[in-house]
Structure 1
Amino acid sequence: MEWTGRAVREMRRRAAAAVRTVRWAWAGPGRERDLMAQAGKAALAAWVAWAVAGWWLAAPMAFVAPWVAVVLVESTVYRSLAHGLQQVAAIAVGTVVATAVALVLPNTLLTMALVLPAVLLLGQWQRLGSQGVYAATGALFVLTGGQATVAASAARVGEAVFGAVVGVAVNALIRPPVYLRDTRAALRDAAREAEEILDAVADGLAAGEWNARQAGEWHERALRLGRLVEQARSAIGWSRESMRVNPWGRHRHGVAPPGKAYGDALAVLDHVAVHTTGVTRTVWESADHGGADHGGGADHGGDVARPAAAIADPYADFLHRTAHAVRLYSRTRFAPSGHDDSAAEALREAVGELHRALDTFRRRLPGAVADDPDALVTYGTLLAHAHRLADQLVQD
């Protein structure tokens, strides 16, 4: 009974997830709608291939056409075309080898024992890529489909070619997949997370009430920010591939392709993530080892000093302005039109304020740590991260 209850709950959970997916797909553009569209296109490609090869032409091995068509409705048009060529080549190789050996050896078991190792090795050929396994599939169609003849083998290869043409054509001509929206979303998510982390650290430093637990949470978020940047890098790769051999995708979506602007933004966000991680690590270490001392004196255990108010306040102001600059940078890079002039002007002004905040921090540093070498190490590290953050936002 307990097992039955768990099975029922799992079925309900999966059914609820399926309903949510359908609801999100119906509500508006997004990953769920893209997945449903690709599934519908794959089914359509298989139906068209079978209707022509199986129903109209009554081909002897008609199932090959819809089978190839359905697997070639890939995540990008370029991948459909590349994999289609590789798959047809692999099937042809396996079919030719199996047919040649079967015409010489009448024993199917012996033929299979000789052919399969050979075609599996041929399938490792680099030019066949991930589709090399279909060489063995083509050979098995020949060896398990009755008497092998040249005409039957040629029909199989022809049906595979037709299925590939249908799959690639459906994927390219009917709502070709484009991932520009996903790329912008991934970059915006990374930028937004960077803003929130910097603002949170700034608020904590300014209030002077942060502790090791809060600082540890900031550092964990900064580490996750690095993973968001990696996801954005992967999304840019998918976007670039989705634009290749895609006749309609760019114009239909009305967005700029992932060119230099996205590459520059990724580089900036990568540096922001690295240096944000450095800032949060330094703050965490100072909170963990600095105890409750807020006076800025040297820590008695010789550990990392906790920032004093005279330094924490201007540094918090700098982090706030950095978060604001990152927000404006995001607007200039990821606007639907490709560029936001008002945000670009605001970014230039924010960069000037960023430099002024950094100068204020630099001026206060020598007097605040004159007699405290441990604090000098901590503040010097924070100042180095501040310089690098500012440089990355300014250089563009």
Structure 2
Amino acid sequence: MVRRVVQAAGAVRGQVLAAGRAARRAWQRPGRERDLVVQSLKAALAAVVAWLIAGRWLHAPLSFIAPWVAVVLVRTTVYQSFAQGLQQLGAITVGTVAATAAGMALGVPAAAMAVVLPAVLLLGNWPKLGDQGTYAATAALFTLTFGNPSVDVAVARVLESALGAAVGVGVNMLILPPTHLRSTEESVRRVLEEATRNLRSVAEGLADSWDHRRAREWEEWARRLFRLTGQARSALEWSRESTRLNPDRRRRAQLRRIQDPYRRTVSVLEHLAEYLTDLTRTLTEASGDTPALPRPDAGSLAPYAHFLHQVADAVDTYGQITTGDDDPEARARLRRAVEDVRAHHDRLRDLLTRRGAADPQWMALYGSLLTDARRLADDLVTEPPHPDDGP
């Protein structure tokens, strides 16, 4: 019991420290943490403005509805706020109208609930309403449990919901409209750094001593890299959506300019992750207790390790151009690095082909290594685009 309490206290302490670090990052520099703080403050502002307009200015009978709708519509993009605002308003209207009609017809709230709730809950699954469909049932419950249903009250609910939606969308659109350029840059940079580190680790391991456990570790790293490329792809889609209905013309133009360059970069990173996954899987299969492939000898692994070091250098330079300073000297370094990769690949192909011909049972292993290496070398031939190159 005492141990569990200590563990729980340690976990709580860790969460508190993590929250403190996140708060410090939000204060010190732009980033995801600061973006979350800004969105939270905007949601609070939207709720206050909606409540003041509905309650203090218009004297609405149900002034809590407007801020309730407004606060949930300060979304991660302006387009989402607008689209989900329409969906939520539609769901609330349907739930309110259905509950009002049933309540006035039956006169008993419990009976009206029994009739209306199954219908609006089913309607909430309609794809046109997206994830806002649940608000149809919520609106129906509010209608049947707060006062007597009437046409006047139903109209007031719908109008206050529309007011809240307008305020939420307006605040999100006009005050620091959210964009996701930083998340794309950070995701791409993270994949590039992880890929370079993994390539160097595998190269150093192959040149030294390695076993099945180490190969399994490399394979797990490669799978993690594959997941990170998925996050980069997702961040890129968020950036694309950030351009829709965004009133900040300068920011919108910048986001559109980076779309094509970063899309090509993410495609290269996906191919790189596939290469590392295939390579580490091959090494894992060749190093088990009952290997599916023969274990490559030191004479083959040494030049392959050198090849991986060269690939890591090229990827590192590729990353500097993509996420850092793009200058003619950096592009010249990349061209030299890629030329070294392709030249060494040709030498590696000749070497492994001769060894495979001398021992036919190793042809499957060498064929896999060469195919993966060729694919990666071809990907790196094309220099990375820079956002300034985009349309």
- After TM superposition, is the score higher than 0.5? yes
Per-residue deviation at 1:83? 0.6
Per-residue deviation at 1:366? 3.9
Q: Which residue of 2 aligns with 1:268?
A: 268
- Does the 8 A contact of 1:286 with 1:307 survive in 2? no
Classify the secondary structure of the residue corresponding to 1:202. helix
Q: Which residue of 2 aligns with 1:96?
A: 97
Q: Within 5 Å, which residues of 2 pair with 1:1-396?
A: 2=2, 9=10, 11-206=12-207, 208-248=208-248, 251=251, 257-288=257-288, 304-309=294-299, 311-335=300-324, 340-395=327-382
- Does the 8 A contact of 1:65 with 1:162 survive in 2? yes
Per-residue deviation at 1:250? 5.7
- Does the 8 A contact of 2:240 with 2:256 survive in 1? no
Q: Distance in 1 between matches of 2:6 and 2:306?
A: 56
Per-residue deviation at 1:315? 1.9
Moved more, 230-239 or 280-289: 280-289
Structure 2: any 5+ residue segments left out of the alignment? 384-391
Moved more, 139-148 or 381-390: 139-148
Moved more, 193-202 or 249-258: 249-258
Q: Distance in 1 between matches of 2:249 and 2:289?
A: 55
Q: Distance in 2 between matches of 1:230 and 1:212?
A: 27
> Percent of pairs identical after alignment?
48
Q: What letter is aligned with 2:379?
A: Q
Per-residue deviation at 1:53? 0.8
Per-residue deviation at 1:222? 1.3
- Paired residues, number: 382
- Does the 8 A contact of 2:75 with 2:81 survive in 1? yes
Q: What letter is aligned with 1:30?
A: G
Q: Distance in 2 between matches of 1:285 and 1:109?
A: 64
Moved more, 139-148 or 43-52: 139-148
Classify the secondary structure of the residue corresponding to 1:393. helix
Q: Distance in 2 between matches of 1:59 and 1:83?
A: 24
Q: Which residue of 1 aligns with 2:386?
A: none
CA RMSD, 1 decimal: 2.6
CA 1:302/1:280 → structure 2, altered by over 3 Å: closer, same or farther?
A: closer
Q: What letter is aligned with 2:273?
A: A
Deviation by residue 1:100-158 (Cα, 9 ceiling, x = unmatched): 23333322222222222222233232211111111122222222221222222111111
Per-residue deviation at 1:350? 2.0
- Does the 8 A contact of 2:246 with 2:252 survive in 1? no
Q: What letter is aligned with 2:203?
A: A
Classify the secondary structure of the residue corresponding to 1:259. helix
Q: Distance in 1 between matches of 2:309 and 2:336?
A: 14
Moved more, 7-16 or 24-33: 7-16
CA 1:134/1:28 → structure 2, altered by over 3 Å: closer, same or farther?
A: same
Relative to the length of structure 2, the TM-score reads: 0.89
Q: Which residue of 2 aligns with 1:293?
A: none
Q: What letter is aligned with 2:321?
A: T
Relative to the length of structure 1, the TM-score reads: 0.88
- Does the 8 A contact of 2:240 with 2:255 survive in 1? no
Classify the secondary structure of the residue corresponding to 1:73. coil
Deviation by residue 1:241-264 (Cα, 9 ceiling, x = unmatched): 222211228628966655122221
Moved more, 139-148 or 252-261: 252-261
- Does the 8 A contact of 1:307 with 1:379 survive in 2? no
Moved more, 33-42 or 361-370: 361-370
Q: What letter is aligned with 2:314?
A: A
Moved more, 162-171 or 359-368: 359-368
- Does the 8 A contact of 2:243 with 2:252 survive in 1? no
CA 1:366/1:159 → structure 2, altered by over 3 Å: closer, same or farther?
A: closer
Deviation by residue 1:324-347 (Cα, 9 ceiling, x = unmatched): 2222222333347xx554433332
